[in-house]
Structure 1
Amino acid sequence: MTVRAIPVRGEILAPGQPGYDDARRIWKGLDRRPSCIVRCADTSDLRNLVGYAAQERLPLAIAGAGHDIGARSMPDYALVASTAALTRVEIDAERRLAKVAPGARWGHVVEAAARHGLATTGASVATVGVAGFALHGGLGWLMRSLGTACDNIRELEMVTADGELRRIAPDSEPDLFWAMRGAGSNFGAVTSLTLQLHPITRVTAGMMLYPGEAAPAVLNAFRDITARAGDELVTHFYYNGSPDGAHSTGIGLCHTGDPADLATLLAPLAPLGEPVYDSVREMGIDDLQAVHDSSTPRGARYHLRAHYLSELDDSVSEAILARCRTVTAPFTQVFVEHMGGAVGRAPIDDSVFGGRHAGYSFLVINGWSSPEDDTTQIAWTRAFGDAVGPHATHGAYVNYLDYDEDHRIPGAYGSAYPRLRALKRRYDPANMFRFNRNIPPEVDDAAS
């Protein structure tokens, strides 16, 4: 690749050049070495890169915040377009809309929208990129009242593999609008997305933690809390490792209703006594992402497994708890997220996000420090997923699929998958945008 020939204003970084090692660092501590990283200075750089990659028949990876679970956005020996510098957020307070550049993080959106008393469903960690999160679903603290992040996408601008800049909305490219909300990275490079905002200024949120041995009682209490919860309450069950080897368990919550109602909603926890840590308090919406921002530090080694669950019966609860007791890594987080509410009420055919049916989402993020532990810890994570798998319902949340789970992608989209493959053939027949949860183009049977 002749890097000087790439028509961009931003920095072009090849291995060995100053800035290259910094540009290739991502949340997941893997040593990835692309052949070239282009730090886009503006969205015209991104458009030019798509045209260049198409002309040269090169696969192109798009890297934003670098928080991709499977580290797909920073592949070895590939051309990478970094949008990390493109973080502009424009708020239209009157129409309650946020127009977001492709490299923006959720912290940027939350801060900008909160100045106007507005918010939307976003990631629970401020450094997660808006585009990657929202294009593939987006489960967050406000999802039971506001829907997923993809439910709040109102419009996108993107460059498809033919180099054309397109406006994607219900009245323009409706097929792509359907596909982008759940499988978006497959169809082009997003240059902006517009999100619906909602009038929320304050919430009651935080974590209540107990010793690890209390996990069975906490999980039972969590099940009782979620059985009676309204849309205003989002809760997670947690089980955590820690650097000192101690285990803890508890719940995290975000409540948008009357703070006076929360004690009644959390009554199932009362028999456990006082938690060893309690950060639950009323806070501004701009403080919500700090609830567990530091739980999975950047640069550690991570491996993940996740499933949708229809319910939390005794058999799945025991399968989860049995594996929790064997945690050895210092940054391990086990989550059970309560879904439903507005997530389940959105029309199934309105987008390709496939988790509408689930009552809960199970996720284990196993995190450790030393590459020497990779084999053991990856095997442990896979075994955890295998233990919960028989209790899972169909589908998968694509934002939680690790690099070794591409075989689960068709099931994640279910009956929508053939239509997605047909659209992929129409807009990206050479599969230039393949460094993602990839949907290969439909095959022309006559040509084959």
Structure 2
Amino acid sequence: MAIFTMRSLVAGLQLLSLVAAAAIDLSPRSVATDLQGLVTTSSVDVAVRERWNEVDAPIPAVIVSATCEKDVKAVVKYCAKNKLPLVPQNGGNGWASFNLNGTAVILNLAAFNQVVVSADKKTAVIGGGAIISDVVTAADKAGVLIMTGNCNCVGALGAALGGGFGNLVGELGMAVDNIISLRVVTPTGQAIDVSRTSNPDLFWAMRGAGPNFGVVTYATVKAVPTADRTAWLTALTFDHTKIADVAQAIQELALLPNQVVFFILGNSGDANNTPTVLVTGFLRGGDEAAGRKAFESLYALGPQTNSSSVAPYTGWNVANDFFCARGERKPAFHTSLHNMKASDWPAVWDLYADFQKKPGAENSAILVEVYNYGKAKSVGRGATGVSDELRFNSFAQAVAIPWYRDAALDTQAFSFASQVRDIWASPDSGKTNTAYINFAHGDEDLTAIYGSSLPRLKTLKKKYDPKNVFGHWFSLA
């Protein structure tokens, strides 16, 4: 893959294959030259972000680093006219695979990283290239909370447009529920405002299936002013023989709106990279006494180790920063869970421990995120393009993440992670499982991704993007 800033787009490239039967035969050199003449010249040199997962990563012919809305409009128009596959890049953390085959233009939005909190502290404007740490830093400085995901390096709006789970979901709802308006460049290259009162059907669709409809340059979201922006955090490790008991305890937790629990199988970090069972707990505004009471049933199981602390807003996600390491191979397999089904977990442990001990696979992990869904459900059914099945039927979001360096392990990695997903999704586990688009592997049926929203989304896709300009992320075409 060749990577370019706007000043080096004209570098020599290999020939570009035909994009479609009706496409114009363009070489990367000609595409780069054309785009160089269309976009704004800027002294800002925005580095293109390496993708988080190397498996089936997009292999573009040209990468354009846009610096203003005019650039975005020009690139979209050009790609639509010439039938070139176009993929906007926010944080570069996609888990699902793309099928671009070296013919695409990636539109990098890293320069759109501004986050501005309003004077009354009730709203914030987030740029399409801002990552979650940008949002948290700006929010904390302004004395507000903003609903985001839990990994600092992930694109804030990329995560939000797919639904958006995070530490504040129990109090503020999903990230899509906190979006007030969007500035969108449509497939025709026009920039429009999208909200409940302006293009309301597109506003509904963008909140759940945004990448199918346009490029978001900015979003206005809700902000919540609050003096106490601390959280009590705990980390407990358990012997793997207690894994079923831990799963059952999590199942029986009556989570408070300000409480979150993560269940993780991961590397203990010792000299032998020994796998371990880890539970992390989050309680916004809590202290040691409140935290131990909220997670009392887990403490009662006798963890091998435990640690806790009160962290500032900017420290909530720090423990997840190791997940931000870019590169290497991480072909994640995911499904939502309707319950923990404790009896499944010894088999899941065996599959995990067997793969994790392979050379170079020591950082593989299994992650289960458990939230209080009360606020997310309060918006009602059909409120956004997010699957109602995901919003109303989920107990947790589970993902198996083989993490390794050698492509020779691909077959074994896929086998391990897909077997774990099959256990989670077995008929004994309850109703048909849905998938959270931001965690999805890429082989899921669209019904699993979009659920009951799918028919309306398909209709709106025909209305707003009949030529499928934006069709490389769980396409609705």
TM-score, normalised relative to structure 1: 0.89
Describe the shift of the 1:275–1:315 C-alpha distance in structure 2 as closer, same or farther (beyond 3 A).
closer
How far the C-alpha of 1:321 sits from its partner, in A, is 4.0
Q: Is 1:233–2:272 an aligned residue pair?
A: no
The gaps in structure 2 that reach 5 residues or longer are: 1-25
CA separation of 1:166 and 1:393: change in aligned 2, threshold 3 A: farther
Three-state SS of the structure 2 residue aligned to 1:51 is helix
Structure 1 position 199, deviation (Å): 3.1
Cα deviation, residue 59, structure 1: 2.1
Paired position in structure 1 for 2:368: 336
Does residue 431 of structure 2 align to residue 379 of structure 1?
no
**In the alignment, does 2:379 pair up with 1:346?**
yes
The verdict on how the C-alpha distance between 1:63 and 1:310 changes in structure 2, with shifts beyond 3 A counting, is same
Using the TM superposition, name which of 137-146 and 201-210 deviates more: 201-210
Counterpart contact for 2:187–2:465, Cα < 8 Å = yes
2:22 alignment partner in structure 1: none
State the AA in 2 paired with 1:343. A
**Cα distance in structure 1, aligned partners of 2:165 and 2:399:** 12
Return the match for 1:28 from 39, 53, 61: 53
Partner of 2:391: 356
Q: Is the 8 A contact 2:167 2:282 kept in 1?
A: yes
| 1:272 match: secondary structure | coil
Displacement after TM superposition at 1:75 (Å): 6.0
What is residue 430 of structure 1 aligned with on the other side? 467
Cα-Cα RMSD:
2.3
Q: What SS does the corresponding residue of 1:353 show, helix, strand or coil?
A: coil
Shift in alpha-carbon separation, 1:386–1:23, aligned structure 2, 3 A:
same
TM-fit CA distance, 1:263: 1.4
Distance 2:264 2:213 in 1: 35
Match of 2:5 in 1: none
Match of 2:331 in 1: 303
User: Contact conserved, 1:221 with 1:269, CA < 8 A, in 2?
Assistant: yes
After superposition, residues 24-423 of structure 1 pair within 5 angstroms as 25-30=50-55, 32-72=58-98, 76-200=102-226, 201-224=229-252, 226=253, 228-241=254-267, 244-259=272-287, 260-278=289-307, 280-295=308-323, 297-318=325-346, 320-328=348-356, 329-339=361-371, 340-354=373-387, 355-357=390-392, 358-390=394-426, 391=429, 393-394=431-432, 395-403=434-442, 405=443, 407-423=444-460
**Compared CA separation, residues 322 and 93, structure 1 to 2 (3 A):** farther
C-alpha change, 1:23 and 1:411, in structure 2 (3 Å) is same
Alpha-carbon shift at residue 275 of structure 1 (Å): 3.8
* Secondary structure, counterpart of 2:391 in structure 1: coil
Look up the equivalent residue of 2:195 and give its one-letter code: A
| 1:295–1:38 CA distance, 2 compared to 1 (3 A) | closer
C-alpha change, 1:123 and 1:437, in structure 2 (3 Å) is same
Aligned to 2:12: none
Q: Distance in 2 between matches of 1:182 and 1:344?
A: 15
For residues 233 and 385 of structure 1, the distance between their equivalents in structure 2, rounded to whole angstroms, comes to 26
Distance 1:294 1:73 in 2: 28
Give 1:64 shift.
1.5
Q: What is the identity, as a one-letter code, of the residue corresponding to 1:293?
A: D
Post-superposition offset of 1:257: 4.2
Are 1:203 and 1:254, in contact at CA under 8 Å, matched by a contact in 2? yes
For residue 9 of structure 1, what is the amino acid of its counterpart?
Answer: T
1:444 is matched with none
Compute the TM-score of the two structures, normalised by the length of structure 2: 0.84
Would the aligned equivalents of 2:40 and 2:71 in 1 still touch at CA under 8 Å? yes
**Aligned 1:434-445 pairs, distance under 5 A:** 434-440=471-477
Where does the alignment leave 5 or more consecutive residues of structure 1 unmatched?
12-18, 441-448
Query: Take 2:278 and 2:268, find their aligned partners in 1: how far apart are those partners?
Result: 14
Partners of 2:41 and 2:315 lie apart in 1 by 33
Are the counterparts in 2 of residues 238 and 250 from structure 1 also a CA contact under 8 Å? yes
Contact kept in structure 2, 1:295 and 1:331, CA below 8 Å? no
Partner of 1:14: none
Deviations 1:314-353 (A, max 9, x none): 4444554453443423122212222322123221211021
Distance between the aligned counterparts of 1:416 and 1:73, measured in 2? 24
Identity within the alignment, % = 25
Secondary structure of 2:50's counterpart equals: coil
| Structure 1 residue 393: Cα displacement | 3.6
